[in-house]
A and B are shown apart, each in its own frame.
Chain A
């Protein structure tokens, strides 16, 4: 007989891959759920909840475990540490599972995975947790404010430290809290295919609830569906899943009829398609990416939608492309980033990022900017964007860019709704913060290349 599937063991294996092997949670989850499609819906839901919840609250789980274990979490065997994390998560957040079942299953699992000698340890820690979970003493918000936030919302201290310095304590808490809120799906209506009213009618006929998004009239928040690809409006290419922040990039880029646009880090291609749509078939958009696989996917998507003024191109944004120099009216530089603005959707980001890694990312961002700024025609526009929050990858990069290249910031107020206008938008950039704005954390800056450089170029 073959070894039977144990849903807790599957959950544990996923956690191991994400926390110990550096795999990305959303990629692993999707692969595993596809692999175990035949499992009952209830079992699939358990796996998803158990893994995502444990990741979401991992620092808090470790804090609780250390109240009842004399071995610190970082000294435990990786399998044991993840087994304890997901067991404590079930005790604290999944009321449907009795504590005794959590303990028994964990002990059995430890044994099955060859840790006979640690059965007693697992049992001891979990029985104590079950008994005294309600009496755990958490850090005091007044005495240790950062530690309090860290344990309550499971964020690393170094990240909180930076945010509190930049945004203040209250805003930081709002950002953290928002990452634990359920996210609504936002879609962009493809107005070249159908009107907003037609699309809403089509969605509501399938029982999907729609709600207008306050920032853009062609954006809709949708809920009450099971599987996006089964929605008829999606199949027809009428709607595209895209966060509002990403839609704002094409708005701020504001292409003119016939413009040439290079989207240098384009995958999965939503922004490029959006710009192409705004060009109404004129001009051309090059959706570039460094991954062959992603370029292929983008081209398939373009073909599905049937856009004629856009193509996917394999090109590495860090390498200067002579043929592109001064060819673009608009360059979109949506650079790779630490992703701290989308933690609500990808919980593991907050543990994987470190200050050192962030420094590497900033170097990469500057390499890309150095190469692609040359593609902008004199008087053309470069839109810099990231899905992260914090000055290091945003404002400081812009400052560095302005110090080194002949560009200036330009107001984005003409392109955004009143609700988003603020202290910085007139100056040329916006930092969207989850919890404060109805969007992911995101940064957009509009930079115009000086006309003078053309004069200098022509004289030379």
Chain B
């Protein structure tokens, strides 16, 4: 298992448009494995290659139903909408409210460059949109409704109420 360093918002790699993957090489396979490891380690549900500094159109997702690898993903269709909290591994400790489609249909290649289609609803739809945006240099903060808020852990003192 190799963990890669997650780039934090402000890093220029997060603002670039990524290049399509033209052939699957051992190095790219290793990148995909590392991205999954890094995502699981950070307790995330999705990660895009530019987040680890590689400008390739690759995203990995796991919303609790097993790993999904999307190489050169293209969103074919969306419908409905969902509004809810969203956060990004490249902006730790913060979250905001974002409205996304509730249904997404995507076309992509797997890690063997075999093309497939995937449909997702709710959390999976949200994750597909969020990660594909990264491939075009877009962070979710662009869509946040209202303010970003702090979600980081803090220590709390114990105190008692009078009995």
Contacts and interface: CB of A to CB of B under 8 A. Distances in A.
Nearest to A294: B160
The 6 nearest A-B residue pairs measured at CB: A2-B87, A112-B64, A1-B46, A38-B149, A270-B162, A1-B130
A45 B58 CA distance: 40
Contacts of A245: 163
Contacts of B135: none
A297 B159 contact: yes
B161 A4 contact: no
B157 A440 contact: no
A3 B151 contact: no
B150 A38 contact: yes
A12 interface: no
B20 to A, nearest CB: 22
B160 A1 contact: no
A112 B85 CA distance: 18
B45 interface: yes
Interface in B22-47: 42-47
Contact of B158 (A27, A345, A387): A27
13 contacts: A1-B44, A1-B131, A4-B85, A4-B86, A4-B87, A5-B85, A27-B158, A38-B150, A112-B64, A241-B162, A243-B162, A267-B160, A342-B163
B156 A34 contact: yes
B127 interface: yes
A31 interface: yes
Interface residues of A, number: 31
Nearest to B148: A38
A42 interface: no
A391 B19 CA distance: 78
Given A241-B161, A243-B162, A440-B163, A1 B88 contact: yes
B156 A31 contact: yes
Given A5-B151, A38-B95, 15 more contacts: A1-B140, A2-B89, A2-B92, A3-B44, A27-B158, A35-B153, A111-B65, A240-B162, A245-B163, A246-B162, A293-B157, A294-B160, A297-B159, A345-B163, A440-B163
Interface string A6-45: 0000000000000000000011001100110010000000
A68 B84 CA distance: 35
B153 to A, nearest CB: 7
B153 A293 contact: no
Interface string B44-70: 111100000000000000001100000
B154 A2 contact: no
A440 B46 CA distance: 51
A26 B160 CA distance: 9
A406 interface: no
Nearest to A186: B162
A268 B64 contact: no
Contacts of A35: 153-154, 156
Contacts of A267: 160
A242 interface: yes
Interface in A223-267: 240-243, 245-246, 267
A108 B84 CA distance: 18
Contact of B163 (A27, A111, A387): A387
Contact of A268 (B88, B123, B162): B162
Contacts of B151: 5, 38
B146 to A, nearest CB: 10
A2 B65 contact: no
Contact of A1 (B89, B92, B157, B162): B89
B23 to A, nearest CB: 28
B63 to A, nearest CB: 8
Contacts of A111: 64-65
Interface in A324-375: 342, 345
Interface in A69-115: 108, 111-112
Contacts of B159: 268, 297
Contacts of A30: 156
Contact of B86 (A1, A293, A342): A1
